[in-house]
Structures are given as C-alpha cells and as structure tokens.
Chain A
C-alpha cells in the first residue's frame, strides 16, 4: 500500500505548492505516493483520510478555518508547510490590527458576504505535527520530509539558525563587516544562506527559530549600528510578527 498524502492551500501565494510541483522529480512523487487531494494540480479528489497532509497558507477566512479542521480530522500526520502556515506569513504582520479597520482601508464602505480575518498560523486552530519552514521551502528539505514519511521514519526539524550555515560556507558576515540589517541570527536554517551568498542580507523568510530567536539581542546590535527603532521593527515583523514576545523584545532595547 502506498502512503496517502494530501496537499492543501489556505490563504497564501501558493508558492509552497508550486515548489512541490516544480521539484525536478515531481513525477517520482506521483509514482511513490497516492496523492488523494491536491486541488492546485488535480480535479479529482475530496478531503478524506490520508497518512500525511501538507498544509500551506494562513487562516484568513472562516472557510480556511473550517477546511483546516476538516483536513486535521482526516490526517494522521499534519505538516505546516511554509511561513504562512507556521507564523501567519507576511499577511500575519497585521496581527494586532482589527480586521474591520484593515477592511475599511482597503475595500472602503463596501460589503463582502465572505468573512475574513487577519492571517494567523494554523497551529492556533489545530495540532501541527511537523513544521516544514521556508518561503518557499527548499527542494532538498521537501524531498527529505517526503522520503522520511515514505520510509516510515520522521523528519528532524533544523534547530540552528541561518548564521550557522553562513559561517560554515565561509561567506563574509554582512552584519558585522558591512553593517547590513541581516536577520540570519534569528532565522531557521535550511537555505544554506543563499541570500548572503548573493550579498543580500537575510530578511528572515524561513521564520524565527524557536528558543533561539533573540530579537532583543539582535535589535541591540542594530541599534548600536545606528539604526532606528521603527526601521528595525518594521523589518523584523515581516516574518516574525507573530513570534512570541517579538514586539516586547524589541521595545525593551529602546527603553
């Protein structure tokens, strides 16, 4: 019996699913698993029992919430795939703002029958078994997760930051040497510090690394380099707004 998987998209850019669809050997995935549900790719299928469900996107509507609960009820293992599912994604940056206010600013005094909300991580609504980080996830990590499930084993999440990979690759440190606002120290590894290789400071797209994301200490370094609080906060909240105490940690440094 082949392992049954489902791939689902809530509110997002569909990039995690696109990465899954565009891995070089996507036909191998189709051969080795029974894909019970993947609406972006197939018009067959309904949500029913699967061994593993991959969920991309944040909960941004009432429908997202209901669909997510249905997915959870039908999945033995649920993987939160990508930054939207894990931390609410870039749209999760409005966390703390009232939905009505955001709606008024964008849609004006119009009525839409659908019920929206500010994007939230899926773990607020259901139990998440594994997190597959990235915006979007890396091909090798995606295949590693799939291979683990295929072999009846379990994937190990990375517990070190982008900085560790960057040092190992011997790239010049953009923060220390070039005074760039690099977020590599807070961010979950796995990208092999690709952006830094291209001379671009990390924007934190893979999301904060739990227990290691010391926003206060990095904000302090930025402050010493002469960056203003608002600029630092605005950059850190792009992918970290819904990380526990992120705001407080940054505020503390500027007290």
Chain B
C-alpha cells in the first residue's frame, strides 16, 4: 500500500508503560500499537519459587493494579491447594480490591484522560485553572490509597495480603474510619459522573464488539469463576486457553488476545454493559439518569463507565466496612501441597486470569493473561476508525488526528507494563 500520510507517536504520554502508535493513511488506513516496554518474563521468574514467594512477585507486574496482581494469584493458589478462606477474609479482600478500583479509575480519569478533554498537557497545568476538578481526582485517589494501606499494608505491592488471609487484620476502629472516609468522598465520584455526562462521543468510531467479563459471585463484584461473553456464550475460567487465543506480532513485546478469532473488549464498559442490572444505590440512579452515555460500541463510554463504577465501589466499601467484625482469626490452611488452580477477577481494566501449577509447595508453572493484552487488537480497530472517520469527514490536519487517536488509546486506560509480562506459548 502506498502511504500518503503517517501518524507516528513513538512514546505515548499519560499512559502506564511505554508504547507508541503508527497510523498509516493510504487507500486503506492501518494502525499498529507498538509496545516497546521490555520483556520481564514473569512466568519464568515465578517458577521454582515457594508459592507464597511467587505471589509476592506477581504484583510487580504492574503498580496501578498491584492489588489485582496479588489477589488473583492468591486465589489461583488457594484453588490449587484446596484452601477455604473465612468470610471475613473475603470481605476484606473485596474492600481492598474495590479500593484499588477507585484509586486506579481516579488516576486514569483525572491525571491521564481529563487533560485531553479540557486541552491541557497534564493535570498540573490543568490544576492552575481547574483546581477543584483536579482535587476531586486527588481526593478519590487518596481515599483508595488510604484504604489499601489499612488493609494491604501499602497501596503499591501490598505485602499484607497473603495466601490464606492476611498477616494482620485491621481493627474495627480502622474500618469505622474507612466507612466515614467513603461517605465523605462519594460526592467527588458523583461529580466525576456529571463531568463525563457533558461530552458526546464521535459516532464514526461506533463499532459493534463482543464484551467479555466475569459473572460475579455477588452483586456487581470482581470475583467469579465463569467468563461471560456478550454473544451469550460462557465458559469456566479453566477453559480460558480454548477460548482466548493469543498471538505474537513482530512490532510488540505484548501478546494479544482474540476471542472466536476476533478482537474483543474488556473493562469497565464491558462490565457495565452486561451487568448494569446488578448495580444498586446511587450508581444505579446515576446510570438511569445518563443511560445514553453507556454506548457499548463506543470506547469513550469506558470513561463514563469507570466514573459510575467509582460511585458503586465507594458505596460498597462503606457497606462492607460497616459489616466488619474484626474477629481475631488465623489464616486458612492448605489441604494439600500440590495441585493446579485457576482464578479470574475483574481488574480495573478488565479480565485478569491466572493459572498455577504447584508441586510440593513449589510453583512449577504459572500463566498470566492480562486485560491490556486482551484488548490491544480491539484498540487498533478503534484507532483505525477514529483516523478514518476524521480523514473521511475532511479533517486533514495530521496533528489533530494524532491527538484524537491518543484519546482513543487513553480511553482504554492501557496498562502496558501488564501487557508485556506475557504468557507462555
């Protein structure tokens, strides 16, 4: 193909990790998301480790979702070794996970995405004129950080969450504080929804897609073991390899997922599209008010969905914290020393799958499949449609098209460090 014009960004700003994009405009329009972040071989470095050491390595895949990268491998190990955790452990893990969701969404929306909407290079310069807006983001982020520190010991690489339970459980008093903080901060999440409900999406990037997500055990939760597709098909996580195929492309260290040979979507937009009936409280009311913003075919709806989710998860944190008893209990014990286990959870960016094989307490095999690796091919489709839509609508300014292409990429909230940890073939 003869290339007439080319959009090339070597290093995309305001995303987690290092990636670039190339859009070639000729008779056709083609796009490549180049992941240049180096390989880190997590499946190799966890091999030969005791299982509790291995699960301590996993969060280092990605700091933005280090809680999911701790709690999901823990779940896989517990599944492998027949460990039944207590109700209290499950409750604390839910709060921990929800707090990560709030922090991650707040960071993404306020520090990475919103500067695009208001035309600033970053949140720092945006703060000079929109201090209250930036404060929303920082307060929401601080809330997530505080809750994660109380339960997980710290927000990045939380060592207190371990196989079987926790090293030390928080006091009832601390959880009372969590509840108070949640009630205080929720208005800032509601304001976030209001912000995103002001913007229309460019309709030329509408593209019908399959959404993949879990069927939650409770409510609009993050734990489950059944993966559901919006085409009606569903499968147990242990069949993930048969249903989600991965491919290697020459221009990227990240592997990429296909479902039924096609790109697919995961993340907040997928969860909300399929599971909106499971919402309750203020989140449900807000969604009812702004229903038209949940367009399952438009990736910009992901930002809106993240905002709705923040409201839901903050409300749930308050509710769960209220039910916390603070019973002194020791961690759950393993029934056996060997086995194979699977786990899937809903990380902020979508499905996160872990498979682990343990022999005599030593990890023999570990496989991780991350949401960003899953949605990269879908992102390329949306990037092409954005460039094409603008080009065909008469926009010939390459810089402007480039900016909109970057907005599409940011709407996905890609986590590049996650995507390159890579799966074993």
Contact = CB atoms under 8 A, between A and B. Distances in A.
Interface of A: 9-15, 18-19, 21-22, 24, 26-27, 30, 35, 38-44, 58-61, 63-64, 89-91, 93-94, 97, 102-103, 105-108, 110-114, 116-117, 119, 135-136, 194-195, 197-200, 203, 205, 230-231, 234-235, 238
B152 to A, nearest CB: 9
- Interface class of chain A by DSSP: mixed
Contacts of B56: 203, 238
10 contacts: A27-B124, A35-B124, A40-B14, A42-B14, A61-B37, A106-B422, A194-B159, A200-B153, A205-B159, A238-B53
- Return the 7 tightest CB-CB contacts between A and B, nearest first: A60-B38, A15-B63, A42-B122, A11-B38, A108-B425, A43-B13, A44-B121
A109 B145 CA distance: 42
Contact of A235 (B53, B63, B145): B53
Interface string B44-57: 11001110010011
Contacts, number: 194
B417 interface: yes
B43 interface: yes
B18 A203 contact: no
Interface in B127-173: 127, 134, 138, 141-142, 145, 153-157, 159-160, 162, 166-168
Contacts of A235: 49-50, 53
B250 A14 contact: no
B192 interface: no
A73 to B, nearest CB: 18
Interface of B: 11, 13-18, 36-45, 48-50, 53, 56-57, 59-64, 66, 107, 111, 115, 121-124, 127, 134, 138, 141-142, 145, 153-157, 159-160, 162, 166-168, 248-253, 255, 406, 417, 422-425
B122 A44 contact: yes
Nearest to B16: A14
B117 to A, nearest CB: 13
B107 A21 contact: yes
A106 B66 contact: no
A64 B315 CA distance: 43
B269 to A, nearest CB: 23
A43 B41 contact: no
Contacts of A111: 250
Contacts of A103: 39
Contacts of B50: 231, 234-235
A43 B14 contact: yes
Given A14-B417, A18-B156, A112 B14 contact: no
Contact of B157 (A27, A41, A106, A205): A205
B253 A112 contact: yes
B159 A200 contact: yes
B107 A198 contact: no
A102 B40 CA distance: 10
A11 B37 CA distance: 6
B53 A203 contact: yes
Given A24-B142, A198-B159, A43 B39 contact: no
Given A14-B64, A30-B127, A198 B168 contact: yes
B44 A200 contact: no
Given A11-B37, A198-B159, A235-B53, A18 B122 contact: no
B157 A42 contact: no
B248 A90 contact: no
Contact of B250 (A43, A64, A91, A113): A113
Contacts of B107: 18, 21-22
Contacts of A200: 153, 159-160, 162, 167
B251 A91 contact: no
A44 B121 CA distance: 6
Nearest to B254: A112
B168 A114 contact: no
Contacts of A61: 36-38, 253
